[in-house]
């Protein structure tokens, strides 16, 4: 007997693209049910992340029109990662396997077949990985690769060119549920689970309609969130930076003493000014890094819920 599949789709102000997304995903899931690949209880779960447009109203209408479509409404906007997590946790109680993907139709829907095939072969996690980045600008391509390399160097285990398009079994989702941190970075947490994994490559398309929810400012904030959520090496780097600065200061003290006793002291402020600005900048940078981690500790210590469910359409 085929297993139940849920496709979780987080939505934030997606009224322009939602009808087409529902149409394509509905056709894909209906075809898979007809072919016996997945069970008839399989569903598409649209998660409304506090949208300010007609997204939730449209999800209600789609649910009434198509029995394969379900809906989940969060009480307010909690961000993409929390919306994905909310959908995964709700789907976990109803499905044997869950696929998460964005609503903008950039992820190839046909890759779902490959993910389910690898699941039936024993994989608990199947990553959707881009086959290339030719459609991206040189700047975006370069910064993305730099982010993956930097995060992995700092101790993360990111899968290159993978975002949040993945399949997870119920077993993997139960393990994910045990990770209770508020500062959520799913693409870094999922590889930590340690279950058998697979990869399906696909060509990422242009956004079907609407605007990207991740401009440069949000992308930088997301990258910072990922690095500080996965690694403490930046703090360790500050320690080594302090050691290096101390050794340099000892060397400079010896140099000044030699110049002083040799009668070669030169009056001037340029060297002192440059040194003060340099050391002051390093101190401010170090305090900033420490502040990031202290802020995360502060948020984690409150144990606030990551989201609240307002309504579920089933």
Same domain, 265 and 129: no
Instruction: Tally the domains of the chain.
Output: 2
Domain membership of residue 219 (yes or no) is no
Who's near 127: CB < 8 A, 6+ residues apart?
Answer: 159, 162, 165, 166, 197, 198, 199, 200
Domain holding 105, by residue range, is 5-211+306-313
CATH (domain of 12): 3.90.550.10
Same domain, 239 and 275: yes
**Given CA atoms 183, 184, 190, 191 in this order, what sign does their dihedral have?**
negative
Same domain, 14 and 113: yes
Same domain, 159 and 241: no
Same domain, 181 and 75: yes
Domain membership of residue 227 (yes or no) is no
Same domain, 258 and 206: no
CA distance 134 to 138: 9
Same domain, 149 and 260: no
Domain membership of residue 286 (yes or no) is yes
Task: Give the per-residue pLDDT at 259.
Answer: 67
217, with CB counted inside 10 A (0-12, 13-18, 19+), is: exposed
Same domain, 185 and 277: no
Task: Give the per-residue pLDDT at 168.
Answer: 96
CA distance 261 to 41: 87
Same domain, 190 and 290: no
CB of 108 within 8 A of CB of 25?
A: no
Same domain, 154 and 99: yes
Same domain, 29 and 122: yes
Domain membership of residue 226 (yes or no) is no
Phi, psi of 47 (to 5 degrees): -110, 115
Residues recorded for the chain: 314
Task: Give the per-residue pLDDT at 197.
Answer: 93
Domain membership of residue 78 (yes or no) is yes
- What is the reported pTM? 0.75
Domain membership of residue 88 (yes or no) is yes
Task: Give the per-residue pLDDT at 85.
Answer: 93
Domain membership of residue 146 (yes or no) is yes
Domain membership of residue 237 (yes or no) is yes
Write b or e for each residue in 138-163: b if 16 or more Cβ atoms lie within 10 A of its Cβ, otherwise e.
Answer: eeeeeebeebbeebbebebebbebbb
Q: pLDDT 10s digit of each residue in the chain, 314 long?
A: 789 999 999 999 999 999 999 999 999 999 999 999 999 999 999 999 999 999 999 999 999 999 999 999 999 998 888 999 999 999 999 999 999 999 888 889 999 999 999 999 999 999 998 877 666 667 666 776 777 676 667 666 777 778 889 999 999 999 999 988 877 788 878 888 889 999 999 887 675 555 555 555 666 666 666 666 666 667 667 777 777 776 776 676 676 667 666 666 556 545 665 566 667 767 777 777 777 777 777 666 767 777 788 889 88
Same domain, 151 and 249: no
């Amino acid at each position: 007997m085929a297993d139940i599949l849920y496709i979780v789709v987080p939505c934030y102000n997606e009224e322009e693209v939602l009808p087409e997304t529902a149409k394509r995903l509905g056709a894909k899931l209906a075809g898979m049910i007809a072919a016996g690949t997945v069970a008839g209880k399989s569903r598409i779960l649209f998660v409304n992340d506090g949208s300010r447009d007609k997204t939730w109203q449209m999800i209600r209408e789609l649910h009434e029109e198509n029995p394969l479509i379900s809906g989940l409404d969060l009480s307010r906007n909690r961000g993409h990662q929390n919306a994905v997590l909310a959908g995964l946790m709700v789907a976990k109680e109803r499905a044997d396997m869950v696929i998460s993907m964005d609503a903008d139709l950039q992820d190839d829907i046909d890759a779902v077949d490959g993910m389910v095939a690898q699941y039936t072969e024993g994989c608990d996690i199947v990553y959707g990985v881009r086959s290339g980045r030719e459609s991206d600008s040189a700047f975006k391509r370069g910064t993305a690769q730099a982010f993956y390399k930097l995060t992995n160097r700092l101790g993360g285990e990111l899968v290159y060119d993978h975002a949040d398009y993945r399949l997870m079994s119920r077993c993997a989702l139960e393990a994910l549920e045990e990770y209770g941190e508020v500062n959520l970075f799913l693409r870094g947490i999922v590889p930590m689970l340690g279950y058998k994994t697979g990869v399906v490559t696909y060509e990422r398309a242009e956004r079907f309609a609407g605007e990207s929810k991740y401009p440069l400012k949000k992308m930088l904030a997301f990258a910072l969130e990922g690095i500080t959520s996965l690694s403490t090496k930046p703090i360790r780097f500050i320690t080594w930076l302090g050691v290096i600065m101390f050794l340099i200061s000892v060397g400079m003290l010896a140099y000044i003493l030699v110049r002083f006793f040799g009668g070669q002291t030169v009056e001037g402020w340029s060297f002192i000014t440059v040194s003060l600005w340099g050391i002051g900048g390093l101190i401010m940078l170090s305090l900033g890094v420490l502040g990031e981690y202290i802020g995360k500790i502060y948020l984690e210590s409150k144990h606030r819920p990551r989201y609240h469910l307002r309504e579920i359409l089933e």
